[in-house]
Amino acid sequence: MITDIIIKYFQNTATEEEKAVLLEWVEDSEENKELFASLKNTWVISSLANTDQNQETIHNKFNDLLEKIEENSEEEEERLFGASKKRYLSVIMRYAAVIIATACITTIVSYFILNQPQPVQYNRLEVPCGQQAKLTLSDGTKIWLNSKSKLIYPDHFSGNLREVLLDGEGYFEVTHNEKNPFIVRTSTLKVKVLGTSFNVASYNNDNDMNLTLEKGSVSMLDPTSNEEVVRVKPNEMVTFSKIDHHLTVKKVETDLYSSWRNGQFKFRKLSFEEISKRLSRNYNVTIIIHNKFLKTAKFSGVFFNYEPLDLILKVLQINTAFRYEIEKDTVTIK
């Protein structure tokens, strides 16, 4: 039944075939799309709630929506499961292409690490819109790169310094080495670590650089003098303004800033303008916002990378009224 698949989908336990069936059902009609958007909004409110005060009301609404979907879909169930095979194969092929591409990247990286002669050679990895990449450096450090990110890294490390250059967003699990610090160089500050896990977001066209630390210790250095600007503690996020060079440090839920590496876009009280930047990179579109009030409006939610952009916008519409038009690679918000 489609309702069983929906529940598994929200619990992130649905198979690829079930996801294909669900997405086909969503795209089958505007009514299905509206119902699913309402259902997802209710699920998000429940999952992000800090108290149990409204849990019973939320669950009742969720069950009412499920019952309505059940009633609407009973006659179509057989057709959906039959028609989903072609869609399923299409989805599988798309994911297979991503897996093959990732495997190729890993193979190429491994080849260079093992076979490049001296002196040190540098590699450049660029991640297309809507995709992520993962690689392991010669010292065992693991790096995840988000959409539209670029990384320059050596085929092997020599001397007493391990250094890479990042433009974009990356999550790092750095292999500990007290004698050889690990440096992430960005267009603004340098990040110095010995061994830790952290997320860096520093796209060249963004006004801010953000660093979020999950565990260990991180120092942010002035790129010219190499002097320490700030030392970051676990569960802290440092924001550096590229405009006025102002630094702010605050406690955060680190999962909100690293969930992208698991194929999720999770956010809490984030402005629509910031949300649109992420959607623009993920879906390779230009988003134009004419609604000035909407730019600063705050939203909370959880989305998966494979969800259609149209569906995400419909979910956001539920709590804040706005209109949008999608024409080729441009989205206009009114």
Look up the domain containing 175 and give its range.
119-257
- 167 and 73 both lie in a single domain: no
Domain final residue, candidates 230, 257, 284:
257
- 19 and 62 both lie in a single domain: yes
- 313 and 204 both lie in a single domain: no
- 127 and 223 both lie in a single domain: yes
Three-state DSSP state, 304: strand
- Residue 54: predicted pLDDT: 47
- 334 and 221 both lie in a single domain: no
For residue 221, give Cα distances in angstroms to 84, 184, 189, 190.
53, 10, 6, 5
| Residues β-bridged to residue 271 | 298
Q: Give 56's Cβ-side CA count (13 Å radius).
A: 1
- 181 and 252 both lie in a single domain: yes
- 242 and 301 both lie in a single domain: no
- 125 and 252 both lie in a single domain: yes
* Number of domains composing the chain: 3
Q: Which residue has the higher pLDDT, 10 or 287?
A: 287
Q: Is 153 exposed, middle or buried (0-12, 13-18, 19+ CB in 10 A)?
A: buried
Q: What is the pLDDT of residues 51-88, one digit of tens each?
A: 444 445 545 555 665 666 666 655 554 454 444 444 44
pLDDT interval class at 149 (50, 70, 90): very high
Domain final residue, candidates 238, 257, 276:
257
Sign of the alpha-carbon dihedral angle for 223, 229, 231, 235: negative
Residue 166's CATH number: 2.60.120.1440
Domain final residue, candidates 115, 142, 165:
115
Q: In terms of Cα–Cα distance, which of 230, 220, 298, 305 is closest to 262?
A: 305
The encoded tokens of residue 318 equal 């539920």
- 123 and 241 both lie in a single domain: yes
- 89 and 162 both lie in a single domain: no
Mean pLDDT across 277-287: 91
Asked if the bond preceding 119 is cis, omega within 30° of 0, the reply is yes
- 194 and 307 both lie in a single domain: no
Mean pLDDT across 294-312: 88
Q: What is the pLDDT of residues 154-169, one digit of tens each?
A: 988 888 889 999 999 9
pLDDT value at 17 more than 60 = yes
Cα-only R_g, the chain: 22
The encoded tokens of residue 277 equal 């930047």
